[in-house]
Structure 1
């Protein structure tokens, strides 16, 4: 799925050669005796490799930017900056003669490239150049459709970081490299593609309670392949709360809620009847709502039911699995599985669980004949660490 970096013919121009083309600006700075004098920086164009000349516009964001010095000259410092002051990171080679930008450029941005060159006699010259990147058409912009959690959220230890794009991504590696997660305290984790348009990040193990997480999605300008470019950046932060897991045993028709491995409460439940079995496996809560209108047609069950006010609904899968109040099945709770796939509780028990549940809390369903897919909601924990890493385009 990766696409290679376009190759460009490199044109190298030494500091002395540039000075000659500019009427000997460096020649005057490097005249006899100048090495012992105070040298005033001279603002003139700098030598660029694989970047159009000073004042150019419509530059593609994947064009490599570099500065080269020749004939014994060195580069003392190079800065490539946008108008807001944000600098594109770069690095010098060990000889100090070539600087190369390491980060991608943003779209529709004017960049100023400033380099300080040191001649063999110790004299310095400052040279500047500027160029403006292109503005991709609306149709070619890759944008975020959904990101989760929301800024400021408090979540459970099973919450993944979800990024859903507006279009399928061709160059997954380029996009993945632009998305950064920082945790306090540090925890190992990685991105994994759950579809061609969805990318999740999760730690190797469940989050440590109390972790602070900062996510920077630096998509603007990223060449995403197939003629698409990232259209915007976004960032958000969230906090991880306590560890809570609800274990649903379909054979015992029972749910046991644990707080950091300590039993809080056990409750009778009903699960999906044979043929409509509740999804098995480890999931994380997507969201919750005090009332949900549940219609069987939306989940492929025809006219089986239409209930306008299902209370205390905790959302588990995109395919329509909830834990919710089911007063109509109280007689079966603890004895039989009679639902269309949801986990039903009495109204008072469902209200208690609802009040004590965070998005990202863990729910594990055992003794089911079917297993939830990782991308059906937050089923990321269905995969072991090696399986999770295999879904990445950038290997750990």
Structure 2
């Protein structure tokens, strides 16, 4: 069954926090520096020099400090470099107007410092340095520059949200507002940290919405209890042609719940709910009607959301025999509209035959119990002879239908 697609919304958080959550499209049983400023002109990224303020001793020449970039409205997206001429750097601090600092390191010879982060568009930076001359005299200097604003801004929607507990098949999924052509550069800024060193990889996909998307999935299902953190240090990264700039960082953290797997056997018309290796209940079901567009998908689908009572309308998935009804205990499995849900109108078929419009239907009582047990991120391992095919990677969270080697090939850093 299916319903009209709702719009997408996002809650934006402060810089360095992950800012929104993907909302599901609508439902359907598918069947559907203050100081010395550089003198370069606008857009000029040449370095500027400033002398240290301490007076030199006898025979001791002052240290000259060169900062790149310099000037006003210089291009963003590169590192800040500071060079000491006639001495060494003892410290460098680069601070943006909003108070954030750019981390960086002084080279082994003490003469250069390079930031570990790129400059962001539309920002003002102050560079403060402390130096020591060859004769041992200490000094300091200040320089400043500004970067040109972004002509277009690229934003991110993602799953899962922060401070949540999810199932063992849940990927990290980022969907971009605009195209991402500089995929390798973007992927380099995405850092996943786990509490137990889980092996995983990013993979680039075309989302069901048609937008660019990148997912991170483990090699195998997550270990229950794993704590996961994503740090997407994207501020100052260029998406490439037609994509625009990222102008903020994102961060989220979540936890993996119990080891729950849902096994759906369409040929036997049965759903088995397994937790930590123990089958808790076997539920008679009816899947998609064989022989046409109403067939169900097979393979591994991941529970995307528990949507409760929703309106399902066949017109949203192009089915000829229209239906329009409120459906209880609805659990979304794909963007294209396959759900598990209560389907009391099909009671005579549960455990006997597949007669739905593509969804996995069950009784009200079984659906209520099952709905209370499952959580987003739980895998549904669906088997059956007569289906529409395997769930595609971008149709919900179908990455588990690719082998580990196939998934790794989708990384831009391979």
TM-score w.r.t. length of structure 2: 0.81
- Other-structure match for 2:67: 48
SS state of the match for residue 348, structure 2?
coil
Structure 2 residue 298 is the aligned partner of structure 1 residue 280 = yes
Q: Encode CA deviations 1:234-276: one digit per residue, 9 max, x unaligned.
A: 3222222111111001111111110011111111111111223
**Matched-pair contact (CA < 8 Å) for 1:46–1:128:** no
- Other-structure match for 1:206: 221
Higher-Rg member (1/2):
1
SS state of the match for residue 348, structure 1?
helix
Structure 2 residue 329 is the aligned partner of structure 1 residue 312 = yes
SS state of the match for residue 349, structure 2?
coil
**Equivalent of 1:265 in 265, 277, 281:** 281
Task: Give 1:225 deviation, angstroms.
Answer: 0.8
| Distance 1:10-1:316 versus aligned 2 partners, 3 A rule | closer
**Equivalent of 1:29 in 56, 61, 69:** 56
- Other-structure match for 2:239: 224
Q: CA RMSD in A?
A: 2.6
Task: Identify which range, 174-183 or 288-297, moves more after superposition.
Answer: 174-183
Structure 2 residue 125 is the aligned partner of structure 1 residue 104 = no
Where does structure 2 lack aligned partners over 5 or more consecutive residues?
1-42
SS state of the match for residue 298, structure 1?
helix
Q: How do residues 223-242 of structure 1 correspond to structure 2 at under 5 angstroms?
A: 223-226=238-241, 228-242=244-258
Task: Give 1:277 deviation, angstroms.
Answer: 1.9
- Other-structure match for 2:372: 355
CA distance in 2 between counterparts of 1:116 and 1:225 reads: 37
CA distance in 1 between counterparts of 2:159 and 2:351 reads: 35
SS state of the match for residue 359, structure 1?
coil
Where does structure 1 lack aligned partners over 5 or more consecutive residues?
1-7, 36-41
**Matched-pair contact (CA < 8 Å) for 1:30–1:119:** no
Task: Give 1:9 deviation, angstroms.
Answer: 11
**Number of residue pairs aligned between Structure 1 and Structure 2:** 363
| Distance 1:225-1:9 versus aligned 2 partners, 3 A rule | same
CA distance in 2 between counterparts of 1:218 and 1:191 reads: 15
CA distance in 2 between counterparts of 1:29 and 1:342 reads: 81
CA distance in 1 between counterparts of 2:283 and 2:121 reads: 55
- Other-structure match for 1:346: 363
**Matched-pair contact (CA < 8 Å) for 1:82–1:112:** yes
Structure 2 residue 109 is the aligned partner of structure 1 residue 92 = no
**Equivalent of 2:92 in 75, 78, 83:** 78
Give the structure with the higher percent helix.
Answer: 1
| Distance 1:305-1:255 versus aligned 2 partners, 3 A rule | same
- Other-structure match for 1:327: 344
CA distance in 2 between counterparts of 1:269 and 1:235 reads: 40
Task: Give 1:130 deviation, angstroms.
Answer: 1.4
Q: How do residues 141-220 of structure 1 correspond to structure 2 at under 5 angstroms?
A: 141-144=153-156, 146-195=157-206, 197-220=212-235
**Matched-pair contact (CA < 8 Å) for 1:247–1:256:** yes
CA distance in 1 between counterparts of 2:201 and 2:64 reads: 42
Task: Identify which range, 211-220 or 240-249, moves more after superposition.
Answer: 211-220
Which structure would you say has the larger RCO, counting Cα contacts within 8 Å and 6 or more residues apart?
Answer: 2
**Matched-pair contact (CA < 8 Å) for 1:46–1:114:** no
- Other-structure match for 2:381: 364
| Distance 1:281-1:349 versus aligned 2 partners, 3 A rule | same
**Matched-pair contact (CA < 8 Å) for 1:45–1:128:** no
Task: Give 1:10 deviation, angstroms.
Answer: 9.3
SS state of the match for residue 69, structure 1?
strand
Task: Give 1:279 deviation, angstroms.
Answer: 0.7
Task: Give 1:344 deviation, angstroms.
Answer: 0.9
SS state of the match for residue 186, structure 2?
helix
SS state of the match for residue 29, structure 1?
coil
Structure 2 residue 145 is the aligned partner of structure 1 residue 127 = no
**Matched-pair contact (CA < 8 Å) for 1:45–1:129:** no
Structure 2 residue 316 is the aligned partner of structure 1 residue 302 = no
**Matched-pair contact (CA < 8 Å) for 2:350–2:362:** yes
Structure 2 residue 402 is the aligned partner of structure 1 residue 383 = yes
SS state of the match for residue 101, structure 2?
coil
TM-score w.r.t. length of structure 1: 0.84
